[in-house]
Amino acid sequence: MKLPPYDTFPNLSGNNILLREIQYSDLKHIVEISRYDAIPAKNVEEAAAMQEKINQNYKDGNSIHWGIADKSSNTIVGTCGYYRGLDKGEGELGCILLSQFMGHGYMTAAIQLAIQFGLNDIGLKRIFAITTQQNDKAIRLLERIGFVKIADLEDDEIEYEWVKTNPSTLATSAISPSN
């Protein structure tokens, strides 16, 4: 397994997106989706403090967090990454998208890139995601990409796991590293 941090932060490129490191200048655009331990930021200062914690988690080898950027404009439209379990060979994949960018394929492409990176670069043996019972869009997306429900959790949450037996769910031809 090759855990973070890496010599160079890994930027991943798909057809219409780039997964890249979040810069301070991006934060003003993503305050509404900035979270740390499920607590939302209220302003740029809080988003910056949360991003510092996320960056420290990356430096400590516990996570990797990308901004999802529209490739044509380099504008951050969401975030995704692995947030727990890397030291055990598993990764909890989390993601969030600004509402005005939903329905354009950004999240599908981001998750596919993140899965391939998790498997091929980090060496994860298990990829999972947790969402709420009410998050129908996330549930449909996870199932479409090849995740299967494995558990009902407390607080109305459910756990999904990516099933490696379905390689057609990853658009590998659309994925290329862009370091």
Mean pLDDT taken over the chain: 91
CATH architecture of 12-177: 3-Layer(aba) Sandwich (3.40)
Confidence class for position 177, pLDDT limits 50, 70, 90: very low
Confidence class for position 37, pLDDT limits 50, 70, 90: confident
pLDDT for position 38: 84
> pTM of this prediction?
0.89
pLDDT for position 167: 52
- The model's pLDDT over 83-137, given as tens digits with 9 standing for 90+, comes to 989 999 999 999 999 999 999 999 999 999 999 999 999 999 999 999 999 999 9
Q: How many CB atoms within 10 Å of residue 50?
A: 19
**Which DSSP string do the residues of 90-147 spell out, in sequence order?**
EEEEEEEE-GGGTTSSHHHHHHHHHHHHIIIII--SEEEEEEETT-HHHHHHHHHHTE
Would you kindly state where each structural domain of the chain is located, as residue ranges? 12-177
Is pLDDT at 170 greater than 90 in this prediction? no
